[in-house]
Amino acid sequence: MSGGGTETPVGSETAQGGGSKKRDSLGNAGSAHLIIKDLGEIHSRLLDHRPVIQGETRYFVKEFEEKRGLREMRVLENLKNMVHETNEHTLPKCRETMQDNLSQVLQRIHNDHLIASEKQHLLQWEDFMKEQPSKRAEVDEEHRKAMERLKEQYAEMEKDLAKFSAF
């Protein structure tokens, strides 16, 4: 420093050469390095929160993944239980109910079909019976005409026969 007084050595510094050398205001290069190192440490502790934030972030991610994994495991376990319940109880009940009701429905359809067929046959029979008198009248008329033709034909044949028997 400036002035004519003697300076006390800092740390492990010793004056060499009888202390006649002037030192700069910060001391020698080794002490400057220590001061810069201390300032960097103080700065990192006071202002640089990256390591703390990184640790907290890792902890949060770890906890989140564990909770997420547990939640997913619970969801999967619930799904497994639901599938098991469905396969073991619900599906057999549904199948049994469906088979019972299906046979009843098929029987009902079959009965309905039989009733419809019977009604259709009855209607056809009634139509057939309604047509019978008119068809019988037609057949009777044709028979009567055929009988008249035959009578006329036999009468004519008798006349022809009487002609030939006179010879």
What the block records as the tokens of 140 is: 């009777």
Predicted structure pTM score: 0.35
pLDDT digits (tens, 9 = 90+) for 106-141: 999 999 999 999 999 999 999 999 999 999 999 999
Rounded CA separation 66/76 (Å)? 15
Domain ranges of the chain: 33-165
For residue 1, give the nearest of 30, 17, 23, 28 by alpha carbon.
Answer: 23
